[in-house]
Amino acid sequence: MFNPHHAAASRRVLLACGALVAALAPAKAHTIVGDRVFPVTLAIDDPGVNDELALPTFAYMTGSNFDRTPGPINYALGWEYAKTITADLALSVGSEGFNWQRRPNAQGWSNLETQLKYVFWQDAKSEAIIAGAVAVEWGGTGSPQSASLAPDPFSTVTTRLYAGKGFGDATLDWARPFAVTGEVDYAMPPQGPTLVTYGATLQYSLLYRNSYVEEVPELFRRLIPTFEASFTTPIAHVAPSSPDDFSPHTTTGVFGPALYYMGNGFEVGAMAQVPINRASGAHIGAMATVCFFFDHLAPDTLGKPLFGPPRARTAQY
C-alpha cells in the first residue's frame, strides 16, 4: 500500500541527494590552471569552464525513514553538456535525468537545468582560480506532476561561487601535488525553503606528481584520489516541524573518498558517499561519472570557444 510518509521521505532524500552533491547537475567540468588539472569532482563542481560532455553520471542512495523502517532506494542516471562562449564564459545544459526508486516503486524524469558560469580571476603561476555562476532549474521540463516521481513544477534560481587552489608553488615537494576546491550555492525556490549548499574537496594528484615532482609507477600516474564533502542547510521559509518526520531545519550532507582517472580526452570517476545523519541516508551511497573533454578530442571544432581564442594551457596529461 502507498504510504504518504514514505513518499514524502523518498522525495526529500532524492532532492537532498541532488542538492548535496550537485549530482548530475549542469556544469560538471574539468579545469586547467597553469600546470594544475582540477578533475571533474562529484561532491561539488570544479571552479572552471570547459567544452565537455558528462554522460552518463550515476547516483545511488538509500533513504532512512524517521520511524526507522526501511527507506526508499533512489537511483539517478543523468547527463550534462557544457560549451564555452569565450575562454572565461560557458553555458551548460543538463539534467539529473531519469530517476527511479524502490520501496515504494516510483520513477520520473528530472527537470532541465541551465547554467551560465564565468571565471572572474585565475593565475597560472599560483594555480588559483575564482568563478561564479547563475543556474536555473526549469520547472515543468521533466515528468508531469501525475508521474509517480515528479520533479518540482516551479523553476528555481541558484547562484554559485567557486574557488580552487593548487599547491604547485609550495617549497616542499611532498606538498606540491595537493590541491583544494570549494563551492557555495544559494538556492531560491518560489516554494519551499531557501537552501545554502556548501562543500569542498582535498585532492592529491598523482598526475601532477608524475609530471612535475617525481616519476610514479605507470599504473598510478593518471590517478587523482580525493576526499570530498557537501552539505545543505535550510536558512529561510522552512516549514514547521512534524513529530513523525525528520526536522526540516536539519542540515544534511555526505562525505567520502573518491578516485578519478584522467585519460587522453576523458575522465572516469567514482565516489563513496557517507551520510552525516539519518536524514541524509541510511548507509553509504555511490556516485560515478564518465566525462569527455572536447578541448582534447576536437580542439578545432567543438573544443574551442565560440568567440575569441582558448586560454593557453601548460598542464601535461
Give the residue among 196, 193, 164, 194 at the shortest CA–CA distance from 180: 164
Start-to-end CA distance of the chain, whole Å, equals 54
pLDDT along the chain (317 residues), means of 10: 34 41 45 94 95 96 88 96 97 97 96 98 97 98 96 97 98 97 97 96 97 96 98 95 91 98 96 96 96 94 94 66
At residue 184's C-alpha, the angle toward residues 183 and 189, to 5°, is: 135
The answer as to whether 310 is a domain residue is: no
pLDDT at residue 314, rounded to an integer: 66
The answer as to whether 307 is a domain residue is: no
pLDDT at residue 244, rounded to an integer: 86
The answer as to whether 68 is a domain residue is: yes
The answer as to whether 96 is a domain residue is: yes
User: How many angstroms separate the Cα of 55 from the Cα of each of 26, 82, 96, 306?
Assistant: 11, 12, 11, 22
pLDDT at residue 143, rounded to an integer: 97
The pTM for the full model equals: 0.90
Number of domains in the chain: 1
The answer as to whether 121 is a domain residue is: yes
C-beta contacts of 172-177 below 8 A and 24+ residues apart:
173/213, 173/214, 176/208, 176/209, 176/212, 176/213, 177/204, 177/205, 177/206, 177/208, 177/209, 177/213
What residue numbers bound the domain in which 210 lies? 4-297
pLDDT at residue 311, rounded to an integer: 79
- CATH number for the domain spanning 225: value is 2.40.160.40
The answer as to whether 317 is a domain residue is: no
Cβ contact 193:238 at 8 Å: yes
pLDDT at residue 27, rounded to an integer: 41
Give the residue among 317, 316, 311, 314 at the shortest CA–CA distance from 131: 311
The answer as to whether 45 is a domain residue is: yes
Cβ contact 135:25 at 8 Å: yes
Task: Tell me the C-alpha distance between 100 and 78, whole Å.
Answer: 12
Cβ contact 150:123 at 8 Å: no
Cβ contact 23:197 at 8 Å: no
